[in-house]
Amino acid sequence: MTEFNHHNSVAPSAATEKYLLEVRDLSVVFDTAEGTLGVVDNVSLKVQAGRTLGLVGESGSGKSVTCLAALGLLPQRGRVTSGDVMFEGRDLLKLSEAEMSDLRGCKIAMVFQDPMVSLNPVRTIGWQISESLRLHQNLSKGAARRRALELLDLVGIPEANARFGEYPHQFSGGMCQRAMIAMAIACEPSLLIADEPTTALDVTIQAQILELLSQLKTELNMALILITHDLGVIAQVADDVAVIYAGRIVEEAPVLDLFDAPLHHYTQGLMNSLPRVDRKVDRLSTIGGAAPPPQDFVPGCRFAPRCSHCDVSCAGERPEFQNVGGARRVACRHPMTSGG
């Protein structure tokens, strides 16, 4: 333990200071009946203070597992096999469970996809919001209640006083998600991880929640990691984007650059296969096949079997995640050129 405490007192190095959170070469495996499956493979992510990183990928791509691993919340059969997660100068993977508990819900908070499932059905909304205040900030019951009422107000729940004593089943889906967000921001975290926070909601409510997250981000000067499968949400909210495919980050770029000129063929394919409400196309272009499950990952580039630009070199070694100017990185041997 002393070693870690010592580590805390060391001033963060120049390299880590730039980022609030830096995930470096994180790999996660799951032990299953069929053997050990590599679910996340050498993933690196950087989040700057006060900015929004969008992490976009299809189901099973490892986007949620990456964040769960960073917070030490992996299910029992999951293990981190390599990498580190630097947050404010400390490696989260080396912290004890007690130290992590102090951090989670306080400095780093998380909002999950299904608010109905994440909330405790037998406790009132007010109790659940006050809980983290009493635990992390040692507030008295009265003070925690007052702060919880402020928070309900802040996330746009009307008649906070009346709703404080209600149970989750008395809330609509959108209101539950607002309550979840109130819980998450209770201790004014510097980083909020939102895992598909609007996927279970209707579009009009989704727009309200996204608006709320952006507004809170500015007010509390909070960084946000937004995990989603929806490129539309990414385009509307993110500052920087990381695209994940089959357990690896394939592309990373500021949001405008990414949408103006995607470099990875997967990113391009994903964008082309989206139907859009603002324009009419005759036929959607598609990516052949489907994203592979971990047991079917191929050596070399994992997108190669679905890629129209692959050649023999793609099947051999893993493509390097290389810098290509600006803040852009791509893991492809034959990246898209501006001409397409």
Partner 1 sequence: MNKPANIKPDVLMEVRDLVCHFPVKRDGLFGKRRVAHAVNGVSLDLIAGETLGLVGKCGCGKSTLGLLVLNLISPTSGSVLFRGQDITRTNKKEWRRLRSEMQLAFQNPLGALNPRRTIGAQIREPLDIHQLGDPADRHKTVLDMLEAVTLPEHLLERYPHQLSGGQQQRAVIARALIIGPQLLVCDESVSALDVSVQAQVVNLLADLQKKLGLSYLFISHDLSVVRHISSRIAVMYLGRLVELADSEMLIENPMHPYTRALISAVPVPDPRARTSRATIGGEPPNPFNPPSGCAFYSRCPHADDKCRSLIPEFRQIGPQHMVACHHAEALAQTS
CB-wise, 127 or 259, nearer to partner 1? 259
Quick note: the x/- pattern for partner 1 over 198-217, rule CB under 8 A, is: ----xxxxxxx-xx------
CB-wise, 259 or 297, nearer to partner 1? 259
Q: How far apart are CA 138 and CA 265, in angstroms?
A: 51
CB-wise, 159 or 320, nearer to partner 1? 159
Q: Footprint of partner 1 on residues 102-161 (CB under 8 A)?
A: none
Q: Is 220 in the site for partner 1 (CB under 8 A)?
A: no
Stretch that binds partner 1, among 1-9, 142-150, 171-179, 184-192 (CB under 8 A): 171-179
Q: Is 189 in the site for partner 1 (CB under 8 A)?
A: no
Select from 2, 5, 9, 59 the one that contacts partner 1 (CB under 8 A). Answer: 59
Q: Footprint of partner 1 on residues 267-296 (CB under 8 A)?
A: 269-271, 273-278, 280-281, 283-288, 290-291
| Cβ(242)–Cβ(45) below 8 Å | yes
Q: How far apart are CA 283 and CA 272, in angstroms?
A: 10
In the complex, least distance from residue 302 CB atom to partner 1, rounded to whole angstroms = 14
CB-wise, 80 or 235, nearer to partner 1? 235
- How does strand 52-56 pair with strand 78-87? unpaired
> Rounded to whole angstroms, what are the CA distances from 130 to 29, 83, 137, 285, 325?
36, 35, 10, 49, 47
Q: Is 191 in the site for partner 1 (CB under 8 A)?
A: no
| Cβ(24)–Cβ(46) below 8 Å | no
CB-wise, 285 or 323, nearer to partner 1? 285
What residues pair up with 36 in beta bridges, in sequence order?
31
In sequence order, the 6+-apart residues with CB closer than 8 A to the CB of 181 are: 111, 155, 197, 209, 212, 213, 216
Q: Is 298 in the site for partner 1 (CB under 8 A)?
A: no
CB count, 10 Å around CB of 115? 25
